[in-house]
């Protein structure tokens, strides 16, 4: 019998790619999705028994404990990737309910399910805080003095809970991706895709952000890192699944070189982006459509978020591709979808 692996957030950008990769390795995948989830990024589920090496759906919500408990039944491994991944929401308390409350429910359901051997929890580089003037590693703890976004705050609080659970003996391995990019569902989480779409459609004429670094990691490398955390990750150990430290200016410059198009000629000042963000937020309050740019995002852009993934390279054989290589694959993919032209 193959191991039964449950993936929360299976309908999302990362979760969808993870489900595909697990299926290709022969795992029986139980995709934990909501009734409202768009399942277009998942392969069709099968109707067979629970352990026939294919995809099965388990409906629920991470805030609905009984649905989670039921879905966990008979599972051996849980990937907890579900989260609210937005730079801004009109009701900020939702970040805590889903991102902190969801993890608490996962830990509670683990304790009641006797079959689970390992939980891989998808945290985020945001949970460790910014790294102005240095390159961060797994030792870094969030100062918790200032949070650029409510999302960052929720991930930092959830990280603490995951580490406390590990100290109590829960077999959990927290992994911390950087800015994930590459092909896959274009959700808010796929921020690089959104930026490139805006740039190549003429709606983003200049560079965004300062020279400060972000750690960019290709979605399929992050997926491999998750799978390696399942097979090789030491319990309670943190693993940064980051990649090349670069700026959004580098992303646009590389994109221009790859597509042989013109580079932006100027940098958009952050105060202008912030002002635009306030307008977007106002517009969002009226229309209900979530904004792509918001003032908290500008706070993020004011800092450096550079990390090393040496530990994952050594222990998990994590092998992130460089940004140029990843973008050279991503741009034709965006073009093939008709989202950009060049
Ligand atoms: N994207 C990045 O750059 C990045 C970087 C670092 C870490 N991460 C982490 O990676 C994970 C996946 O992110 P992503 O980019 O794939 O985000 P995403 O595309 O927005 O996917 C989020 C997933 O979570 C699910 N979800 C949200 N609220 C839920 C709830 N109450 N109950 C059950 N499921 C719920 C969503 O379901 P629906 O489809 O129904 O909405 C979706 O499947 C998150 O934990 C995120 O914090 C992401």
Report pLDDT digits (tens) over 77-121: 999 999 999 988 999 999 999 999 999 999 999 999 999 999 999
Mean pLDDT of 308-320: 98
Mean pLDDT of 252-267: 96
- Kindly give the distance from the C-alpha atom of residue 252 to the centroid of ligand 1, in angstroms, as a whole number: 25
* Ligand 1 binding pocket includes 180 (Cβ within 6 Å): yes
Number of neighbours of residue 48 by Cβ within 10 angstroms: 11
How far from chain centre, in Å, is Cα 241? 10
* Ligand 1 binding pocket includes 189 (Cβ within 6 Å): yes
Least confident residue range of 189-198, 287-296, 298-307: 287-296
pLDDT at 85: 95
Residue nearest to atom 8 of ligand 1 (CA): 124
Instruction: Sort 96 into a burial class: Cβ within 10 Å, 0-12 / 13-18 / 19+.
Output: middle
pLDDT at 320 over 70: yes
pLDDT at 171: 98
pLDDT at 299: 92
Least confident residue range of 68-77, 290-299, 326-335: 290-299
**pLDDT band per the 50, 70, 90 thresholds, residue 290:** confident
**pLDDT band per the 50, 70, 90 thresholds, residue 293:** confident
pLDDT at 342 over 70: yes
How many Cα atoms are found within 13 Å in the side-chain-facing hemisphere of 265? 2
- Kindly give the distance from the C-alpha atom of residue 249 to the centroid of ligand 1, in angstroms, as a whole number: 26
Ligand 1 atom having least distance to the Cα of 191: 3
Ligand 1 atom having least distance to the Cα of 180: 3
* Ligand 1 binding pocket includes 25 (Cβ within 6 Å): no
pLDDT at 48: 57
Instruction: Sort 237 into a burial class: Cβ within 10 Å, 0-12 / 13-18 / 19+.
Output: middle
Structural contact between residues 307 and 215, judged by C-beta atoms closer than 8 angstroms: yes
* Three-class secondary structure of residue 181 per DSSP: strand
Angstrom distances, CA of residue 339 to CA of 10, 293, 306, 325, 330 = 23, 19, 29, 20, 11
Ligand 1 atom having least distance to the Cα of 125: 6
**pLDDT band per the 50, 70, 90 thresholds, residue 322:** very high
- Kindly give the distance from the C-alpha atom of residue 264 to the centroid of ligand 1, in angstroms, as a whole number: 31
pLDDT at 53: 63
pLDDT at 292: 80
* Ligand 1 binding pocket includes 40 (Cβ within 6 Å): no
Structural contact between residues 11 and 34, judged by C-beta atoms closer than 8 angstroms: yes
* Three-class secondary structure of residue 287 per DSSP: helix
Cα separation, 165 vs 167, in Å, equals 5
pLDDT at 140 over 80: yes
Mean pLDDT of 307-329: 98
- Kindly give the distance from the C-alpha atom of residue 85 to the centroid of ligand 1, in angstroms, as a whole number: 6
Least confident residue range of 118-132, 133-147, 152-166, 267-281: 267-281
Q: Average pLDDT over the chain, rounded to whole?
A: 94
Residue nearest to atom 11 of ligand 1 (CA): 81
* Ligand 1 binding pocket includes 105 (Cβ within 6 Å): no
Cα separation, 67 vs 59, in Å, equals 7
Least confident residue range of 52-56, 65-69, 311-315, 336-340: 52-56
Ligand 1 atom having least distance to the Cα of 181: 3
pLDDT tens digits along 9-53: 999 999 999 999 999 999 999 999 999 999 999 988 876 555 556
pLDDT at 44: 87
Q: What percent of the chain has a predicted confidence (pLDDT) above 70? A: 97
pLDDT at 226 over 70: yes
pLDDT tens digits along 201-212: 999 999 987 777
**pLDDT band per the 50, 70, 90 thresholds, residue 2:** low
Q: Per CATH, is 4-185+215-245+306-321 categorized as 3.40.50.720?
A: yes
* Ligand 1 binding pocket includes 37 (Cβ within 6 Å): yes
* Ligand 1 binding pocket includes 159 (Cβ within 6 Å): no
């Amino acid at each position: 019998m193959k191991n039964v692996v449950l993936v929360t957030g299976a309908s999302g950008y990362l979760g969808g790619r993870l489900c595909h990769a697990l299926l290709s390795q022969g795992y029986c995948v139980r995709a934990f999705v909501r009734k409202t989830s768009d399942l277009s990024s998942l392969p069709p589920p099968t109707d067979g028994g629970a352990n026939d090496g294919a995809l099965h759906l388990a409906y629920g919500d991470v805030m609905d404990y009984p649905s989670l408990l039921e879905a966990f039944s008979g599972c051996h491994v849980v990937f907890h990737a579900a989260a609210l991944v937005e730079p801004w929401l009109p009701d900020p308390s939702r970040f805590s309910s889903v991102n902190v409350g969801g993890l608490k429910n996962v830990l509670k359901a683990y304790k009641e399910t006797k079959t689970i051997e390992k939980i891989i929890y998808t945290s985020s580089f945001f949970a460790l805080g910014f790294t102005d003037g240095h390159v961060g590693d797994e030792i870094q703890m969030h100062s918790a003095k200032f949070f650029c976004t409510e999302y960052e705050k929720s991930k930092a609080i959830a990280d603490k809970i995951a580490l406390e659970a590990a100290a109590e003996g829960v077999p959990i391995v927290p992994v911390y991706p950087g800015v994930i990019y590459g092909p896959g569902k274009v959700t808010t989480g796929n921020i690089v895709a959104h930026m490139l779409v805006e740039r190549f459609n003429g709606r983003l004429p200049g560079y965004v952000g300062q020279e400060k670094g972000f750690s960019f990691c290709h979605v399929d490398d992050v997926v491999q890192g998750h799978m390696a955390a399942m097979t090789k990750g030491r319990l309670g150990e943190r693993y940064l699944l980051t990649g090349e430290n670069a700026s959004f200016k580098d992303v646009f410059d590389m994109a221009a070189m790859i597509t042989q198009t013109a580079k932006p000629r100027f940098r958009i000042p952050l105060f202008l982006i912030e002002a635009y963000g306030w307008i977007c937020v106002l517009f969002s309050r009226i229309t209900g459509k979530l904004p792509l740019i918001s003032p908290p995002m500008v706070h993020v852009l004011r800092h450096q978020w550079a990390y090393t993934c040496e530990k994952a390279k050594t222990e998990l054989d994590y092998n992130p591709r460089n940004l140029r290589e990843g973008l050279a694959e991503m741009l034709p993919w965006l073009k093939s979808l008709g989202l950009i032209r060049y």
